[in-house]
Amino acid sequence: MDVYLLARAIGVTAFSLMLVQIILATWFRKYIKWHMWIGKIAFILAWIHPALLEFGRGLGGYVWWGKIGLGLLTLAVAAAIFRIKHWRWIHRLNYVALVLIYVHSWNLGSDVRRFPIILLYWLAPVVLVLAIWEKLRQKEIPA
């Protein structure tokens, strides 16, 4: 298998799992153990994606969106692992990271504009907005 193709598949999988994370954390709290396991898998895949691309070809300016998103994701995961004071606030950086990674993958990804993956990219902004609205409604994010 082509390393570049594998890296693309891993990137889309990591993004998909991060979207599942948002859904679990917002509407399915009783599955917190699943949230933790899926989060670990998504995080590992998110780091494997750019590592594999180092062996592939270079890409344009939207690579930085992915790098910043991965940095925020790493910070949010570290805050949760080490239970840093106010870790939940830092963990909410995942919403920002998901937006940055969405922009990164939409502008660079050759796979995201094809069926069936494009459905995920139509659904992602809707899920993100509904999740933030639900968190505000639950008073988990002060308005």
Q: What percent of the chain stands above pLDDT 70?
A: 87
The pair of three-digit structure tokens given for residue 60, joined into one six-digit string: 């344009």
pLDDT of 39 above 80: yes
**Could you say which DSSP state residue 110 is in?**
S
Pick the more confident residue, 39 or 81. Answer: 39
- What was the pLDDT predicted at 20? 94
Query: What whole-number distance in Å separates Cα of residue 67 and Cα of residue 115?
Result: 26
DSSP 29: G
pLDDT tens string 10-19: 999 999 999 9
- Dihedral in degrees, nearest 10, Cα atoms 58, 64, 66, 70: 120
Tell me the pLDDT tens digit for each residue of 100-117. 889 888 888 778 888 888
84 three-state secondary structure: coil
Peptide bond into 125 cis (omega under 30): no
